[in-house]
Chains A and B, each alone.
Chain A
Amino acid sequence: MSSLWPRIEPLLARVEKPARYIGMERGSVRPDHHPEKVAWLLLYPDAYEVGLPNQGLQILYEILNERPDAVAERSYAPWIDLEAELRAHGLPLFSVDTHRAAGDFDVLAFNLSAELVYTNLLNCVDLAGVPVRAAQRRAEHPLVMAGGHCTFNPEPLADYVDAFVMGDGEEVVSEVTEVVGAWKRSGRTHREEVLRDLATVPGVYVPSMYDVEYDGPRVVAVTPKHADVPAVVDKRTVADLGDWPYPKQQLVPLIEVVHDRLNVEIFRGCTRGCRFCQAGMITRPVRERPLEQVRTMVRDGLRRSGYDELALTSLSSADFSGIDDLVGGIVADQEGTGQVSVSLPSLRVDAFTVGVASEIQKVRRTGLTFAPEAGSWRLRQVINKLVTEEDLYSAVDAAFSQGWRRVKLYFLTGLPTETDADTMGIAELAKNVVAIGKQHTKGASATVSVGGFVPKPHTPFQWFGQNSVEELRRKISLLRDDLRRSPAKLRWHDAEASFAEGIASRGDRRIGAVIERVWRAGGTFQEWSEHFDLSRWLDAMAAEGLDPDWYVTRHRTEDEVLPWDHIAAGLHRDFLWQDWQAALAEHGLPDCRWTPCYDCGVCTGYALEHVVAANVPPAGGSQGTGQDLAAGSTVPVRLLPTVRGGRDREARVAG
């Protein structure tokens, strides 16, 4: 039960970036363990510098450590060099906070943000000294749990994870703590007992409580084994983000990590309705954080962290009601206290947004990123990313004229109905963007990043057959040829990695054995190109007698049972199918924040509402509203009733 530090310390002199394993970040805690307290180990199964900034993990870390009946520590996947040292010295995976053995915790809770980390989850469980297969675990082993976006299709890890938690974790994490705590106090005898109890907690899915029936390659039914186990597990949703001003003490790492800045979440959920975007679909409805709370979190966060960089995060930050007032306020708050650079990730593509960005990014104006996602207006209607060419060019023109010198453009290829003309549209846009830039500055440059589209569960594109590796490569080479002589720089994502992601993304329970084989063959850190090798995945599929194309490139039919149909993000299946048909018919769908409800199922089914401070769509573009709305005009819909009276003071009436 004591710290492993004296045994780990000598190993750190021999590994790359040893500070990954020392903890001690500002904001971290060394909690006091107690037999009565439920001990959580929160794990991000990728390298420390990728996992440390994860906001979901940090939120749970704080909420749990505030509870008198719980303690929480953190761990990340040890890099390959340390893993070898640990195994050679017979040492287990450990927490970074007190260097306690992972196996001494009651719960190993994984955050799953990407499918390619699944093999790392198995590796971490194994390094913890816990059997990787759930069925082989006994009462003394920790419970293995997982949450995060990927768990909306939990099936590929169903035989390896004891319980999944769907949706927002702020509330359910406490309910799970109470169930596990009661089990612990009752003597922690039968694992089956606690799993039965967990299966009745709303939002918790215990895969061992369900039978899966197959007909040949198809899943035909997923049925609960007991009457008190729900047939469909619904996600959890926090009704009001204002109740959860977390993280209050964002961790400040000692080494450089990704997103190394103060991150303040300004809203959760997105109703733009981009059909490829799983995050937007599964996090509905939109819940804005009260503006004053954002300002307070920014002010306090900067003061205690010492960061000089801030990101206002969400899935489309320029859509926050009164974003210009917010950034104006933040800039005013920072006057005289040094130079803070503010960024808005997931920028909407229009000139207004660039104006907001220029307001806040007064220093270090280097690069700005836009994501038109598809090369033609036709295809952007298919995917419901309603950015016109005019929007893009005016945004780019504004960016270069206001001092930015580099523009990054994000696209997907392999989208439904995509023709070569659509693909080549990417190159066309890129060239025009560079030409616009050159009118302002000789040094203007554009980088085009192209990712291979991987269809995701709970989206209208869940029925779409992914492009093959060859097809994705062919499309990328079209772009390479066309942009060879252009100053626009092309970057692309490995089509083979997209294929493996496709296997895991829409896989069923049988894919678990494939993931286990890939892991046993040494396939960890699959998100890292230097460690990725598709042949491991294909070999594993062959060994399990599974056809990769059946899982990846095959179009699904309407009547087919999808492996994740017993998990609900609140979206009606009918809505998703209709939206898929609308996509094929090239019809866009407006943003329901500002236009009448089309009943996707989430608000009506869960008795939720959008929590937005204003019924005014953001100035500067028609995107997503389906209407030509000039800046500042009202939308002809009623403002949804607010959840709490206090919200009213933030409502703004358009002038």
Chain B
Amino acid sequence: MRGDAGVPVRLRFTKHGPVRFISHRDVARAFERAFRIVELPLAFSAGFSPHPKVSFGPALAVGYESDAEYLDLELTREVDLERMVDAVSDALPEGMAVTGASSLADRAPSLQEGITALGYAVELVGVAPADLGPVVDAFVAATAVEVVVTRKGEERIDDIRSSVLALARPRPAEAVVVVEVATRPRTLRVADVVNGLRAVSPDAAALEERRVVRTHQWIERGSARHEPLDVDRRSDAPEGATRALEACA
């Protein structure tokens, strides 16, 4: 598995503009091609159908933008991470760029295992900014928020309240909420949060999401939360090899 022989690395990347309409799978293919263009020394899995050892964090819905996507990959040898960040960014489709990289400790938990919370900024329509405050307040005050969720093609009623870790209005003049959702026991979708807002207030019946940006992903360890580039770093990583940018405003 990870780190058996190779050099594990974690990347953070962004997805903005029209390219937000490509799927998670398409993103993976874009990276595979970019890695080949820059001739990155990728480690391959063994077996009948070898494939590069690259794994991604939680999928981003088609149409959502992101400041904070992550992937882990394994190289066959050390490379200059700073140069790699620039080269890979150049080889990616317009609107996607790598914004940070860190060397990972051997046997670090995967992103899928590690990520515990996702942060989004959600621009809403169908509600005046002034009316949004009471809706958000009602949601936060509620002990339970029941919405119809679709899981594996089946509809069921779920209480999503406990999966919403934080909900706020950063700028009262705008119809924008920032929300943080848990990935356990399962990842809550932004659409379900919007359904929840509609459910808690009759004023919010016409509310719809317009632009969604994933702003953060978090890994919780003990009681502390970390940016995924900052945990499981290799202790002997060469100085200056990381270039984690500010973890978003």
- Report whether chain A binds chain B: yes
Q: B50 and A26: CB pair below 8 A?
A: no
Q: How far is the CA of A308 from the CA of B50 in the complex (A)?
A: 12
A135 contacts chain B at the CB level, 8 A cutoff: no
Complex CA–CA separation, A307 to B37 (angstroms): 8
* A633 proximal to B (CB < 8 A): no
A24 touches B94 (CB 8 A): yes
13 extra A-B contacts, CB within 8 A, seeds A13-B63, A254-B19? A12-B63, A19-B22, A22-B19, A22-B21, A24-B18, A24-B19, A24-B95, A254-B22, A256-B29, A305-B33, A306-B32, A306-B34, A307-B36
- Count the A residues whose beta carbon is within 8 Å of the partner chain — how many? 26
Closest chain A CB from B22 CB (angstroms): 5
Interface of A is mostly: loop
Q: Is B44 among interface residues, defined by CB-CB distance under 8 A?
A: yes
Within the complex, what minimum Cβ distance (angstroms) separates A324 from chain B? 26
A12 touches B21 (CB 8 A): yes
Min CB–CB distance B162 → chain A (angstroms): 29
Which 5 A-B residue pairs are closest in the complex by CB-CB distance? A306-B33, A18-B21, A22-B18, A306-B37, A306-B36
A24 to B21: give the CA distance in the assembly, Å. Answer: 11
Question: Shortest beta-carbon distance, B117 to chain A, in Å?
Answer: 25
Residue numbers in B under 8 Å from A252 (CB-CB): 33
**Cβ contacts B10-53/A at 8 Å (1 or 0 each):** 00000000110111011001101111110100101000011000
B62 an interface residue at 8 Å Cβ cutoff? yes
Whether A363 contacts B19 in the complex (CB less than 8 A), given A13-B63, A24-B93, A256-B29, comes out as: no
Number of interface residues of B (CB under 8 A): 26
Q: In the complex, which residues of chain B have a beta carbon less than 8 angstroms from the beta carbon of A18?
A: 21, 62-63
A304 to B34, CA, bound (A): 9
CA–CA, A13 to B19, complex, Å?
12
Residues of B within 8 A of A (CB): 18-19, 21-23, 25-26, 29-30, 32-37, 39, 42, 44, 49-50, 62-63, 91, 93-95
Residues of B within 8 A of A19 (CB): 19, 21-23, 26, 62
Please report the C-alpha to C-alpha distance between residue A363 and residue B30 in the assembled complex, in whole angstroms: 21
A255–B32 CA distance with the chains assembled, in angstroms: 13
The reply on A364 being an interface residue by CB < 8 A is yes
Q: Known contacts A12-B63, A254-B93, A256-B29: does B22 contact A304 (CB below 8 Å)?
A: no
Q: Find B22's partner among A26, A255, A307, A338 (CB 8 Å cutoff).
A: A255
The CA-CA distance from A337 to B18 in the complex, in Å, is 32
Q: How far is the CB of B64 from chain A (nearest CB, A)?
A: 10
Which residues of chain A from 296 to 311 have a CB within 8 Å of any chain B CB?
A: 303-308
- Could you tell me the distance in whole angstroms from the C-beta of A440 to the nearest C-beta in chain B? 16
Task: List B contacts of A303 (CB < 8 A).
Answer: 37
A215 to chain B, nearest CB (A): 55
A24–B96 Cα distance when bound, in Å, is 12
Decide: A339 near B18, CB < 8 A? Known: A13-B63, A254-B93, A307-B33: no
Q: Interface code A23-40, partner B: CB below 8 Å = 1, 0 otherwise? A: 110100000000000000
Q: Are A26 and B93 in contact (CB-based, < 8 A)?
A: yes
- Residues in A whose Cβ lies below 8 Å from that of B91: 306
In contact, B30 and A254 (Cβ under 8 angstroms): yes
| Choice from A9, A13, A337, A339 contacting B39 with Cβ under 8 Å | A337
Q: Bound state CA distance, A29 and B76, in angstroms? A: 36
B79 CB → nearest A CB, Å: 15
Cβ-defined contact, B33 with A363, below 8 A: no
Which of chain B's residues have a CB closer than 8 A to the CB of A306? 32-37, 91
Q: How far is the CB of A336 from chain B (nearest CB, A)?
A: 10
A458 CB to nearest B CB, Å = 40
Q: How far is the CA of A337 from the CA of B42 in the complex (A)?
A: 11
Within 8 A of B (CB), among A1-53: 5, 9, 12-13, 18-19, 21-24, 26
A598 to B21 Cα, complex, angstroms: 55
Distance in Å: Cβ of B244 to nearest Cβ of chain A: 26
Give me 28 A-to-B residue pairs in the complex whose CB atoms sit less than 8 angstroms apart, sorted by A's number.
A5-B18, A9-B18, A12-B21, A12-B63, A13-B63, A18-B63, A19-B19, A19-B23, A19-B26, A23-B18, A24-B94, A24-B95, A26-B93, A252-B33, A254-B19, A254-B30, A255-B26, A256-B29, A304-B37, A306-B32, A306-B35, A306-B91, A308-B36, A337-B39, A338-B36, A338-B39, A339-B44, A364-B49
* Bound-state Cα–Cα, A22 to B34, Å: 19
In the complex, which residues of chain A have a beta carbon less than 8 angstroms from the beta carbon of B95?
24
**Nearest CB in chain A to that of B35: its residue:** A306
Q: Which residues of A contact B49 (CB under 8 A)?
A: 363-364
Cα-based distance from A21 to B19 in the complex (angstroms):
11
Q: Which residue of A lies closest to B40 (CB)?
A: A338
* C-alpha gap A364/B45 in the complex (Å): 13
Q: Contacts of A339 on B, CB cut-off 8 Å?
A: 44, 50
Nearest-neighbour CB distance to chain A for B146, whole angstroms, equals: 26
**Closest chain A CB from B65 CB (angstroms):** 12
* Docked complex Cα distance between A13 and B65 (Å): 12
Closest partner residue, chain B, to A10 (CB atom) = B210
Nearest CB of B to A261, in Å: 11
Contacts of A308 in B (CB 8 A): 32, 36
A19 and B25 CA atoms in complex are apart in Å by 12
Chain B residues, CB < 8 A from A9: 18
Bound: A337/B173 CA distance, A: 54
Contact with B along A307-319 (1 / 0, CB 8 A): 1100000000000
Residues from chain B with a CB closer than 8 A to the CB of A254 are 19, 22, 26, 30, 93
Most buried by A among B36, B44, B50: B36
Residue in chain B with minimal CB distance to A365:
B48
Q: Which of A21, A305, A363 contacts B50 (CB 8 A)?
A: A363
* A256-271 at interface with B (beta carbon < 8 Å): 256
Contact B23–A255 (Cβ < 8 Å): yes
In Å, the complex CA distance between A5 and B49 comes to 41
Chain A contacts of B34 at CB under 8 A?
A: 306
Question: For the complex, what is the distance from the CA of A13 to the CA of B42, rounded to whole Å?
Answer: 35
Chain B residues with Cβ under 8 A from A364's Cβ?
49
Measured in the bound complex, the distance between the Cα atoms of B22 and A252 in whole Å is 14
Q: Once the chains are docked, how many angstroms separate the CA of A306 from the CA of B29? A: 10
Chain B proximity of A116: nearest CB distance (Å): 28
Residues of chain B contacted by A24 (CB below 8 angstroms): 18-19, 93-95
Query: What is the distance, in angstroms, from A25's C-beta to the closest C-beta of chain B?
Result: 8
Q: What distance in Å separates the Cβ of A479 from its nearest Cβ neighbour in chain B?
A: 32
- CA gap between A10 and B30 in the complex, in Å: 24
Q: Report how far A21 CA is from B62 CA in the complex, Å.
A: 14
Q: What's the Cα separation between A423 and B210 when bound, in Å?
A: 58
Instruction: Write the nearest CB–CB distance from B37 to chain A, whole angstroms.
Output: 4
Shortest beta-carbon distance from B17 to chain A in Å: 9
* Bound CA–CA A363/B211 (angstroms): 43
What residue of chain A has the Cβ atom nearest to residue B25's Cβ? A256
In angstroms, how far is the closest chain A Cβ from the Cβ of B5?
17
Measured between beta carbons, the chain B residues less than 8 angstroms from A338 are 36, 39, 42
Determine the residue in chain A with the shortest Cβ distance to B211: A13
CA distance A531 to B62 in the complex (A): 26
Contacting residues, chain B, for A21 (C-beta < 8 A): 21
Interfacial chain A residues near B25, Cβ < 8 Å: 256
Q: How far is the CA of A22 from the CA of B95 in the complex (A)?
A: 12
Query: Chain A residues with Cβ under 8 A from B44's Cβ?
Result: 339
In angstroms, Cα B33 to Cα A26, docked, is 11
**With A and B bound together, what is the CA distance between A22 and B36 in angstroms?**
24
Closest to A336 in B: B39
- B73 to A: closest C-beta gap in Å: 14
Chain B: which residue is nearest A14 at the CB level?
Answer: B63
Give the Cβ gap from B135 to chain A, nearest Cβ, in Å. Answer: 22
CB under 8 Å from chain B, chain A span 276-308: 303-308
Pick the contact of A256 from B26, B36, B93 — CB < 8 Å? B26
Closest residue of B by beta carbon distance from A25:
B93
Complex CA gap A306/B34 in Å reads 6
Query: Which B residues lie within 8 Å of A256 (CB)?
Result: 25-26, 29
Considering the complex, give the chain B residue whose CB is closest to the CB of A18.
Answer: B21
1/0 contact string of A68-79 vs chain B (CB within 8 Å):
000000000000
Q: Which residue of B lies closest to A304 (CB)?
A: B37
Determine how close the nearest CB of chain A comes to the CB of B218; give it in whole angstroms.
Answer: 27
* In the complex, chain A residues 202-242 whose Cβ is within 8 Å of any chain B Cβ: none
